Amino acid sequence: MSVTIRQWTTGDLPAVRQVTWDTWLDAYSSFIPESDLRHYFDMHYTLDALTQLYHAPLTNGFVAEVNGSVVGYVKTKFNKEENRFYVSSLYILPGHQGMGLGGKLMVSAEELAKTLGADTTWLGVMTQNTPALDWYKRHGFTFVEEAPFTMGQTTVVHLIGFRKIKAAANALH
């Protein structure tokens, strides 16, 4: 099995879109109706919207490929005003979870963060997405605030957390 982590390209965006939808159905459909997922997805994850994100300053992404197919990705944004580096998306197809791909994507994201002068990674995760929440906690994230997150007609609690990047490298290996 060949695994590659690399910076995303515009050619990856259709696969990124599909990974997003497939992982959302798996992770969120038990607590967010599919119609609400679809509404949010169709608003924020069109190819045009992803292309705009791709070209946005200080937004970056990395994909995980297994045997030449994109099976996951991480999307990041550096907010200069807040001096915060955010992981805004980290998704791995259900059949490829547990292979260490999420950790490898986080390492790539945090290496980028260091080049931007950031020392902390911030992210949000829905409280009802317990597998992801548990994964982040196992990998050293501390959750410090709650915020509502709305998809369609459904609002869920979103936990906001962080970890120092220097500690992150050891936590992922």
Give me the pLDDT at residue 81, please.
87
Provide the whole-model pTM. 0.93
Task: Domain of residue 111: give its range.
Answer: 3-171
CATH number at residue 164: 3.40.630.30
The structural domain count of the chain equals: 1
- Express each pLDDT in 55-96 by its tens digit: 999 999 999 999 999 999 999 999 988 889 999 999 999 999
Q: What is the mean pLDDT of the chain?
A: 94
Tokens of 22: 């497939």
Q: Is residue 33 predicted with pLDDT exceeding 50?
A: yes
Using the Cα atoms of residue 80, residue 160, residue 76 and residue 13 in order, give the sign of their dihedral: negative
Give me the pLDDT at residue 82, please.
87
Three-state SS at 124: strand
15 sits in which H/E element: helix 13-28
- Express each pLDDT in 100-111 by its tens digit: 999 999 999 999
Tokens of 80: 């200069």
